[in-house]
Amino acid sequence: MMKKYSLNQRQITIKRLREFLQQSVNLEPELERFVKTLIFSLEMADHANPASHPCSSDCMPKVHH
Q: Using pLDDT thresholds of 50, 70 and 90, give the confidence band for residue 62.
A: low
How high is the pLDDT of residue 15? 94
Q: Which DSSP state fits 14? A: H
How high is the pLDDT of residue 25? 87
Average pLDDT (22-47) is 91
Q: How far apart are CA 43 and CA 26, in angstroms?
A: 25
Q: Which DSSP state fits 61? A: P
Task: Provide the mean pLDDT of the chain.
Answer: 77
User: Looking at beta carbons, which pairs linking 2-7 to residues 24 or more positions away fall under 8 Å?
Assistant: 3/50, 6/50, 7/46
Residue 64 has pLDDT above 70, yes or no: no
How high is the pLDDT of residue 28? 94
Average pLDDT (34-40) is 96
